[in-house]
Structure 1
């Protein structure tokens, strides 16, 4: 049976040199002749030699692999954050190992265990946040990790997220300035930091414009297209009157637009709609969606740099980075 992988012993036998000489040639050590080095590298290519990264990591005690745990691989928001992570990993000579939790806490716990068993050098995590025992355990084990896109009030961790209160404020203020006075907010579950901070921004804008906060004007649900669609149908069926909708994310806004159109509403004349995230499809829907743009690529890239600082021991203190957001006005407001 043919061997699965070529070893340095195979190269040494073909070249007629010692295993140590092959190792030094492959690792570009200076104390062998150029002629010998070229000969060994040529044989390695011919045989299809691939470096054994596992053996190297055992010697160095580093794998040069970072574990990435995302909440929903189907959400274009995470795809754009992941682009930033991948760009940074390539720049700094690392690989990533990706796991998707589907927004289930138990999956998040398992993902952390699997990645630590693989001896990754550190973790980037977009946590579910309905529990935090796994994050506390990581802190106690002194594992390098960075929280991406979320904020923990109860303890200090390395984290990077958007200015969610400002985002919620800008979205609601824009609807008010468009003359909307009954603004429905369709929110994600409030144990998520992004959801409760966007809600705080919504409340802030209402206060500043002398408008009361009404609990019946906030619908809390999951954050996909279908959830936005069902939330608006429910509000309309219950007779709730609204002329503006602020959605937790763009996906929900797509569902909201579909529901409103089916019920005969003109957008934005009857009901204005604003989303959040500015994912790639938001400018392509009909009508194009007004939204809050966040720095998704930058979030991923900077999260990786923050983690690398921890892995390399260049930073001891906890670090929190808050990225700015901006209003993008299109045709739904």
Structure 2
């Protein structure tokens, strides 16, 4: 098996000292231009790759961060990850990504794996089923940023969207369209995003003097099939409704399919609003009205905040809350 090319190999092939090779590879100013070009040319020909482990030992940084997300099947997270990777690349950092499939035990394992890899910091979108693993990260003093959710009782840097306002915008829009019997197809309410969107839903109802009815809120595990089955159950129960506010766009896909299969016309019979504005929402039939989050910017901000923590530029706990907006299309 071919061994890794070392600085010593490059120095021997170029006919210069190891120190000269080191200075050329690290772009030091006090080296002759021709010599530097020679070293870089030889290094490339030999296939030299910098030893990240050696750099870590020298500078105390691996230049690698860990990203733990809860659902790789949801396009929302792919757009967030794109923002993280873009911002990380600009700072010379690499990203290790792990998916937890919304399972708390897998989340715990992912954290242990990231720490065993000696990442410089972690960005995590937690399930929130429990919080012991997040508390562990706080106590371990590993630079960590929580993405997309909010913890009331844990002091940790966070980047998330204004979900209360988003729930309010979605519900108010349905009310403005004359809908008065609005269902909230919620995610599990142990998640801060589901609770905050519920608060926004309640706020809009209150403005229109409509009494909140708990029987209009349905906790559903995220996923197209789950929301599809739940919507069929609701329809079969003969519940009267004329609007549906969905926890996210993935949920809305299942809701729209169930309504169509049961002979409902959207938006004539039932108006539907989603949340997240994932990439294909505008191409659905009919195109989905949804609350828009700048997902890539959310990822960029999460990395920028983490980078400041790694560089010890931030001493206070920051909570960055992104604005949201309503994208009105054809389902409402």
After superposition, residues 171-320 of structure 1 pair within 5 angstroms as 171-320=170-319
Matched with 1:137 is 136
* Separation in 1, partners of 2:199, 2:249: 19
* Separation in 2, partners of 1:214, 1:84: 39
* Separation in 1, partners of 2:323, 2:35: 55
Matched with 2:124 is 125
Query: Once the two structures are superposed, what CA deviation does each residue of 1:64-92 show, in whole Å capped at 9, x if it has no partner?
Result: 11111111111011011111111111122
Matched with 1:112 is 111
Instruction: Give the TM-score normalised by structure 1.
Output: 0.97
* Separation in 2, partners of 1:285, 1:15: 60
Distance 1:30 1:184, change over 3 A: closer
* Separation in 2, partners of 1:63, 1:197: 37
**1:5 matches 2:4:** yes
Aligned length: 332
**1:15 matches 2:17:** no
* Separation in 2, partners of 1:265, 1:10: 72
**1:38 matches 2:46:** no
Q: Name the SS for the 1:223 alignment partner.
A: coil
* Separation in 2, partners of 1:300, 1:319: 15
Shift of 1:174: 0.8
Distance 1:30 1:265, change over 3 A: closer
* Separation in 2, partners of 1:167, 1:40: 56
* Separation in 2, partners of 1:284, 1:33: 57
Query: Once the two structures are superposed, what CA deviation does each residue of 1:146-193 show, in whole Å capped at 9, x if it has no partner?
Result: 111000011221001111111111111111111111111110000100
Gaps of 5+ in 2: none
Provide the alpha-carbon RMSD of the alignment.
1.2
* Separation in 1, partners of 2:101, 2:63: 26
Q: Name the SS for the 2:56 alignment partner.
A: helix
Shift of 1:32: 4.0
* Separation in 1, partners of 2:281, 2:35: 58
Shift of 1:33: 3.3
Gaps of 5+ in 1: none
* Separation in 2, partners of 1:262, 1:247: 18
Shift of 1:36: 2.9
* Separation in 2, partners of 1:213, 1:5: 66
Once the two structures are overlaid, the 10-residue window that deviates more, 10-19 or 141-150, is: 10-19
After superposition, residues 43-82 of structure 1 pair within 5 angstroms as 43-82=42-81
Query: Once the two structures are superposed, what CA deviation does each residue of 1:80-135 show, in whole Å capped at 9, x if it has no partner?
Result: 11111111111222111111111111111111111111111111010000101011
Query: Once the two structures are superposed, what CA deviation does each residue of 1:188-244 show, in whole Å capped at 9, x if it has no partner?
Result: 000100001001111111111111111111110111111221111010111211111
Q: Name the SS for the 1:303 alignment partner.
A: helix
Query: Once the two structures are superposed, what CA deviation does each residue of 1:237-265 show, in whole Å capped at 9, x if it has no partner?
Result: 11211111010001110111110011111
* Separation in 2, partners of 1:26, 1:178: 64
Q: Name the SS for the 1:89 alignment partner.
A: helix
* Separation in 2, partners of 1:24, 1:163: 48
* Separation in 2, partners of 1:308, 1:146: 10
* Separation in 2, partners of 1:328, 1:28: 48
Poorly superposed stretches of 4+, deviation over 4 Å: none
